[in-house]
Structure 1
């Protein structure tokens, strides 16, 4: 099997082998499968996800994957007809000429837990060592005892939680300007679907968060990439892209952009907002890293929506990055009629966000220790970043990091010209380190090889240092 082999093919091969195993038998690790079949880590993750969906294996966090209990399963009939039907259902829209796509391998790769013997420099959520587990447990317990937690919440969200989000975002927003949603990815997908029609162009950063690309394609939108520099998206290229494409949506990450780590300066924020306003476009401000600022960052610009009386900016943020991936609660904020459109889009998809989760979130953010917890997390992230930067500079060279962000949780590492990002990521996994292939962050092919290294999913800073240094032999030109 070679790198072009599909996850379905790999899943078929593994299924035949696994069916012969006794119940409870441990499945071969990710690393071993990458080495054995010569495929990427993403392909292995997708294949194992397919086997999990079939009920053949189950994953135990920190322990690996195991053969499930054997049980009689009805043999499936001929489902081959579905391929053509699904292709027609998600293919080109006759009027708009834009294909929709529901493929998101990059997102799946970041959500798949690595084997116990692999150091995770890929994940974007806090390791349990960094999560406020005590505060979360107390908040969940208190929320569960509220009788109102089991009643239907308001469609727009709990008034008290909307008040908190409005104050946290600032800019004179009130609860009437805020919609509680199911975390950042859900908010992004809702906003893109509500503001765009199939076939519409949407301006995105290049490179950018893979979830933005996936959500845009699922909504049938046509991505228009605009390059970045050290201060974020380039206003001159943005204005040109808006003029050329007629796009009415721009998606930006203002702080510690994923993956580059660049932040929009206050001046750059004004230029981006002004360009969008001239073209009658909305700016979706994905402010995912607002609470991930490191102590040595100094003052950071306020959100773009804070100085936006005309309603150009649709702001989103989430609580998951600073608490737990399971506290899937966030907010959309906007001024003007657009919020009603956003509320309707969310209503159609999800009705409302679970009341127990909303009350748990409210307990967490209004607890006396909330701000102290954020400060402690920031200090821990600063230490991990320092360790990661030193290791990257030693192994990849002093010029590997164009930006050394003082916030967020990741580094964008340039590779030597003789390396290919996908091959390095596969080789790293085979050597016990999970990294993210930089190609995942571009809507089209890129000739600028990078990998993204996350330093929050590993157990400790020492693990981050060891994992980065373990990559040194893979950089040698052969």
Structure 2
């Protein structure tokens, strides 16, 4: 048997490309066609480059160029230790999608959302009636606003946040259309194209997408049980010129890691030594009794803080804020004015009335109670498996036992009627993805439905991956 024969026998994907024109393009075109017709499925691994080159009797460089072009088109993704695999096509090339692609018959555990309750709709109806009867508030909300946002709303939000242990003044705030907008605004205004930003090696996909969209170099900082490691950050700053550091110290998304006070102080020391701006994402809201000291309290001269109502009131309100030092406020205001002049004021009027009325506090208290019950249910259903989660976390991070791979587990879960997100969308750059999945316990409308989904996952974990997954 020849080298070619042996190679062809080992290739589970064996294209027969048109030899006319550039061969690497023909390989990519056939790959796209095989993905489109279902011959190749998300998660399928392509043959190693040298093996495919031997099978087709072409140079390794040709196959390498084809794989790179396929990755550029968003057809495949390459990870260290995992090879080149067909990308899940329900997600865009950025790896980030703002809404779940769950089948309507699937139980969705992929979204980090407030828990569904009639109380929310009841409170909103009452708030709308109150606002409708206050003509001054309505007329003000319908007018153009200054770029920092409505002054009364900034004052209202500052009062509520201060009462929650996040003291700040109205003039320190820029109102935004949610947390993602605040993230994008800070990056667009404060970091120039080609400059570097850094974050945890596993971080919020919206940050990854924003940095990519703006053409920024995004660097991964190694993590431990508390999240970002100060020593690793210091070494990275010695090697690269980093402008801004993105942090989730209270509740890393997806791992649930929380920084100690000593860890926060060590990060601040590194930031001052290398003159980094600090962008803290507080969208994964944490109750005051579980919260540490915010970075803007430790290093106010260089720290920004993102807040949003998305996880505590309603994601559809699109109301948030960016706290920033006075030295950056002019730049941020000008950037927001260039984007959209000012944020829409009506959502802010609703959110602030929610806070002022006290209804928000009762809704949040209910969610903490329900969340605790759901976390206990999760621990009971998945007993014996490694779960990382925060007491205020809307999700948990499940570390998969061998020989499960995340891409196979997500696929098998989908076939069992449960939608999950694997580790890959959270990975910065070419970092190898851990064999883990994020489980959001808040989307199911009832505990019973959540329990059914968790039991299905437990069955998969107990049974192990199917033989076909082990052979790929």
- TM-score bracket, shorter-length normalisation: 0.7 to 0.9
CA distance in structure 1 between the aligned counterparts of 2:453 and 2:328, rounded to whole angstroms: 46
Residues matched between the structures, number: 387
Residue 364 of structure 2 is aligned to residue 374 of structure 1: yes
Partner of 2:116: 128
Alpha carbons 2:211, 2:218 under 8 Å: kept: yes
Mark the CA change 1:319 to 1:236 in structure 2 (over 3 Å): closer, same or farther. Answer: same
Alpha carbons 2:396, 2:440 under 8 Å: kept: yes
CA distance in structure 2 between the aligned counterparts of 1:6 and 1:134, rounded to whole angstroms: 54
Q: How does 1:382-421 map to 2 (within 5 A)?
A: 382-393=372-383, 397-398=384-385, 400-401=386-387, 403-421=388-406
Residue 453 of structure 2 is aligned to residue 467 of structure 1: yes
Residue 288 of structure 2 is aligned to residue 300 of structure 1: no
Q: Which runs of 5+ in 1 are unaligned?
A: 14-35, 42-85, 88-101
Deviations 1:40-65 (A, max 9, x none): 49xxxxxxxxxxxxxxxxxxxxxxxx
Say which of 128, 136, 141 aligns to 1:149.
141
CA distance in structure 1 between the aligned counterparts of 2:389 and 2:368, rounded to whole angstroms: 16
Look up the SS of the partner of 1:446 in the other structure: coil
Look up the SS of the partner of 2:117 in the other structure: coil
Deviations 1:238-290 (A, max 9, x none): 11112211202000012121000011122211211221122111010001123
Look up the SS of the partner of 2:305 in the other structure: strand
Look up the SS of the partner of 1:107 in the other structure: coil
Partner of 1:329: 319
CA distance in structure 2 between the aligned counterparts of 1:392 and 1:218, rounded to whole angstroms: 38
Say which of 264, 268, 286 aligns to 1:269.
264
Structure exhibiting the larger radius of gyration computed from Cα positions:
2
Return the offset for 1:202: 0.7
Q: How does 1:18-417 map to 2 (within 5 A)?
A: 39-40=41-42, 106-108=95-97, 111-112=99-100, 114-129=102-117, 132-144=120-132, 146-170=138-162, 172-290=167-285, 292-293=286-287, 298-309=289-300, 311-393=301-383, 397-398=384-385, 400-401=386-387, 403-417=388-402
Mark the CA change 1:144 to 1:430 in structure 2 (over 3 Å): closer, same or farther. Answer: farther
Alpha carbons 2:389, 2:395 under 8 Å: kept: no
CA distance in structure 2 between the aligned counterparts of 1:470 and 1:205, rounded to whole angstroms: 31
Q: Which runs of 4+ in 1 moved over 6 A?
A: 4-13
CA distance in structure 2 between the aligned counterparts of 1:351 and 1:122, rounded to whole angstroms: 34
CA distance in structure 2 between the aligned counterparts of 1:9 and 1:209, rounded to whole angstroms: 32
Alpha carbons 1:208, 1:259 under 8 Å: kept: yes
Alpha carbons 2:313, 2:360 under 8 Å: kept: no
CA distance in structure 2 between the aligned counterparts of 1:10 and 1:327, rounded to whole angstroms: 41
Mark the CA change 1:123 to 1:365 in structure 2 (over 3 Å): closer, same or farther. Answer: same
Partner of 1:440: 425
Return the offset for 1:320: 1.2
CA distance in structure 2 between the aligned counterparts of 1:369 and 1:235, rounded to whole angstroms: 40
Partner of 1:53: none
Say which of 430, 434, 452 aligns to 2:415.
430
Alpha carbons 2:406, 2:422 under 8 Å: kept: yes
TM-score, normalised to structure 2, is 0.75
Return the offset for 1:121: 0.6
Return the offset for 1:299: 4.0
Return the offset for 1:407: 1.3
Mark the CA change 1:11 to 1:154 in structure 2 (over 3 Å): closer, same or farther. Answer: farther
Mark the CA change 1:129 to 1:337 in structure 2 (over 3 Å): closer, same or farther. Answer: same
Mark the CA change 1:178 to 1:321 in structure 2 (over 3 Å): closer, same or farther. Answer: same
TM-score, normalised to structure 1, is 0.74
Deviations 1:292-330 (A, max 9, x none): 43xxx9442132212334x11111110111111211000
Mark the CA change 1:473 to 1:386 in structure 2 (over 3 Å): closer, same or farther. Answer: closer
Mark the CA change 1:240 to 1:298 in structure 2 (over 3 Å): closer, same or farther. Answer: same
Mark the CA change 1:11 to 1:150 in structure 2 (over 3 Å): closer, same or farther. Answer: farther
Look up the SS of the partner of 1:411 in the other structure: strand
Look up the SS of the partner of 2:268 in the other structure: helix
Return the offset for 1:349: 1.2
Mark the CA change 1:10 to 1:119 in structure 2 (over 3 Å): closer, same or farther. Answer: farther
Alpha carbons 2:201, 2:427 under 8 Å: kept: yes
Alpha carbons 2:177, 2:318 under 8 Å: kept: yes
